[in-house]
Amino acid sequence: MNESSSADGFRVEKLYHPYGGAKELMRSHEPEVLLCGPSGTGKSRAALEKLNALCLKYPGLRVLVIRKTRESLTQSGLVTLDHDVIVPEHAVWLANRGEWRYRNGSRIVVAGMDKVGKIMSSEYDIIYVQEATELLEDDWEHLTTRLRGTTLPYHQIIADCNPSGSSHWLLRRAQAGKLKIIDSRHEDNPRLVDPRTGEYTPEGRDYLAKLDALTGVRYQRLRLGRWVSAEGIVFNEYDANVHLIAAQPAFGGELPPAHWPRLWSIDFGYTHPFVWQAWAKDPETEALYRFAELYHTNLLVEKVADIITAWMNRTGEEFPEAIICDHDAEGRATLRDKLGVPTIGAKKSVALGIQAVKQRLLVDGEGKARLYLIRDAGIMPDATLFEAKQPTSTEEEIELYIWEDGVKDSTPVKAHDHGMDAMRYVTMHVDKGGWSLEQIAAWGRGESSLKASGSSSAPAKPEPQPKPPEPEKPAETPEEKQRRREEEVEEMNRQALLRARGFKE
Ligand SMILES: Nc1ncnc2c1ncn2[C@@H]1O[C@H](COP(=O)(O)OP(=O)(O)OP(=O)(O)O)[C@@H](O)[C@H]1O
Ligand SMILES: [Mg+2]
């Protein structure tokens, strides 16, 4: 489809033939069009080919390519644009402006919703949203107001995505007749399926085998292309429209106010993601806000400590009131050594923790919850997870965190639970009375009246009691055993912290 001849007569071309859904997208003029299908069907290539063809046809065209974060676009769409779509004789990449500039004056501006800046004050003829399911409907509507160019005979916002949950706003928008959805299939990508024979190519067989290995909703969406929600989502109270918010309206700035107490929560991992979350607590409403996160595989704890230290230097954030960790003794010891501050073992009861998080997610009469996730809080993206279409943040885990066999209040499936665990730990700490570093320091100074952080019902430091005669012990139930273990761990932590700070009881 794209061809050009260089001055010396040498033919330069990048051939592209659209098939199926891709062809339909090329021809469409509807104001809002979404090309949707399973993984690897050629959706993004089709959208970018359309933009390139229009840029060549209409000199002076203004195009915006946008995704949720600029970083994710760099890792995906821009590579295709550069390698496969744009012929170097036609356009150059102006890195400082973040745009492709064509010889004929057309331009493709590239941006992330996380750093829109002045991009939103410009006007465009056509906008392409990559992986539109990652955006909120507000973002989408905001983008449509930027479609004011006069070079193209029509205005259009095109988008692509893999299917998401069955009640996603994109589906509702299509049902309301505002958005046209075009289906995209593996047969539309000649790299996977030979268009002449209809047979899988060797690359296609390999690729499909990977998709066949997926399970649950991810199989349904990425292999079969279905809009489905997981059965039995644990946090069914969670609603991205309520709980996933931007920092600006929440705090009036990038970071929570300095006087709001901070808490860090950690779920160790190496092959599985290591999750570190920074939370702030609004002292008035007691609502918790996750405002920074590291969600990353293949990181040693030493490296994590360096990343967190660099983040502290960059943002001016200080050590929090408490660092709550899962019970990985080695990980905790390394963190302690590297950061120079002690950590606290989390209260691990899954059932209680889940209930505590659920309570916080509930929305009151004024539409307010008590637990929020700040959008785009990631401090270092994980390209491996991104490429593998695995969750890359706590918010992406939530809709994949499900009850075993879909049975409510049973046990959650041990998958996509890393951010979930960290969220549980911080909630348990705040709501079920954990000890903060400040309190421990206060006990060391002999002030025993402090309460545990954040909870009016939390226990104060236990006073030594005269020992009653040992009663005959009935057998422990599993719940009692779990609680006793937690109390023992809690006590060990407290003792360790006191020792670490040089305090004697
Ligand atoms: N018609 C085509 N001709 C040649 N190559 C194609 C064609 N369509 C897609 N491809 C190639 O197939 C690969 C996958 O395409 P693309 O990234 O567009 O898929 P996608 O549907 O956007 O995938 P995902 O669901 O992962 O976002 C790319 O390398 C792309 O260049
Ligand atoms: Mg794509």
> For position 200, which CATH number holds?
3.40.50.300
Whether residue 297 sits in one domain with residue 421: yes
Q: Which atom of ligand 1 is nearest to the CA of 76?
A: 17
* CA–centroid distance, residue 42 to ligand 1 (Å): 3
Tens digits of pLDDT across the chain (505 residues): 444 444 444 445 668 999 999 999 999 999 999 999 999 999 999 999 999 999 999 999 999 999 998 888 887 778 899 999 999 999 999 999 999 999 999 999 999 998 877 788 899 999 999 999 999 899 999 999 999 999 999 999 999 999 999 989 999 999 999 999 999 999 999 999 999 999 999 999 999 999 998 888 999 999 999 999 888 999 999 998 899 999 988 888 889 999 999 999 999 999 999 999 999 999 999 999 999 999 999 999 999 999 999 999 999 999 999 999 998 899 999 999 999 999 999 998 999 999 999 999 999 999 999 999 999 999 999 999 988 889 999 999 999 999 998 788 889 999 999 999 999 999 999 998 755 555 555 555 555 433 334 443 333 333 344 444 444 445 666 666 666 666 666 666 666 555 555 544 3
Among residues 411, 431, 451, which one ends one of the domains? 431
Whether residue 35 sits in one domain with residue 107: yes
> For position 286, which CATH number holds?
3.30.420.280
Contacts of 271 (CB under 8 A, 6+ apart): 297, 298
If one counts every other C-beta atom within 10 angstroms of the C-beta of residue 498, the result is: 18
Query: 276-282, long-range: CB within 8 Å, 24+ apart, which pairs?
Result: 276/304, 276/308, 276/422, 277/394, 277/419, 277/422, 277/423, 277/426, 278/317, 278/320, 279/320, 279/426, 280/256, 281/430, 281/454, 282/256
pLDDT in tens, 116-149: 777 888 999 999 999 999 998 999 999 999 999 9
Whether residue 456 is contained in a domain is answered as: no
Whether residue 79 sits in one domain with residue 11: yes
Q: Which atom of ligand 1 is nearest to the CA of 48?
A: 18
Whether residue 320 sits in one domain with residue 210: no
Give the chain's domain count: 2
Ligand 1 is surrounded, with C-beta below 6 A, by: 16-18, 39-45, 80, 84, 160, 162, 189-191
Whether residue 188 sits in one domain with residue 94: yes
Whether residue 337 sits in one domain with residue 193: no
* CA–centroid distance, residue 43 to ligand 2 (Å): 6
